[in-house]
Amino acid sequence: MVKLKVPPGLEVYLKEHRVATFVDWPFVSDCACTPMRMAEAGFIHTPSENAPDVVQCFVCFKELEGWEPEDDPMEEHRSHSPNCAFLALQKDIADLTIQETLKLSKERMVNLLEKEFNLKITQREKYAANVRNKIHSYGY
C-alpha cells in the first residue's frame, strides 16, 4: 500500500493524527470516550490549563469539555453540532471522492473563517465597552 504525503495543515484529516493529539487524556480504557473514539468522531484534543479535557472538531470547530467516562463522542458531537459536515459524511475520510474532499475542505474553511470573525467581533465589542466606560468615567 502506498502512503500518500499529507499537505501541511491537513494532518487533522487523518484519524491517526487526531488520536495522537490526545496526550494526557484521562479516558484511555474501559470508557466510551477513548482517544480512538474521540478521533473517530472528528475531535482533536485542545487542552488548556483550566480545561484539560477540551476537544474540538476539526471541521466545524465546535469545542466540548466536561467529558464523563460514559459519554459517547459521536452522540455528543451530533447533539452539540448537528449540522457538522464531518458528521454528514457517513463514511471514512479515506473513502471520500475528490468532490467530497473538496466540499469538506470548503466547509472547514467557512467554519474557520466564521469562528475567527466571531472572535474578532467579540474582541471589538469588549474594546468598545472599555472605551464607553472610560468616557462615562470622565462624566460624558
DSSP-derived secondary structure letter, 5: P
CATH number for the segment(s) 11-137: 1.10.1170.10
Per-residue pLDDT of 72-109, as tens digits, reads 999 999 999 999 999 998 888 788 888 988 899 999 99
Angle subtended at Cα 95 by Cα 39 and Cα 102, rounded to the nearest 5 degrees: 85
pLDDT of residue 32: 95
Question: For the chain, what is the mean pLDDT?
Answer: 90
Q: Does the pTM exceed 0.85?
A: no
| Measured distance CA(15)–CA(36) in Å, rounded | 8
| Measured distance CA(3)–CA(16) in Å, rounded | 13
Q: What is the mean pLDDT of residues 108-137?
A: 95
Query: Which amino acid belongs to residue 139?
Result: G
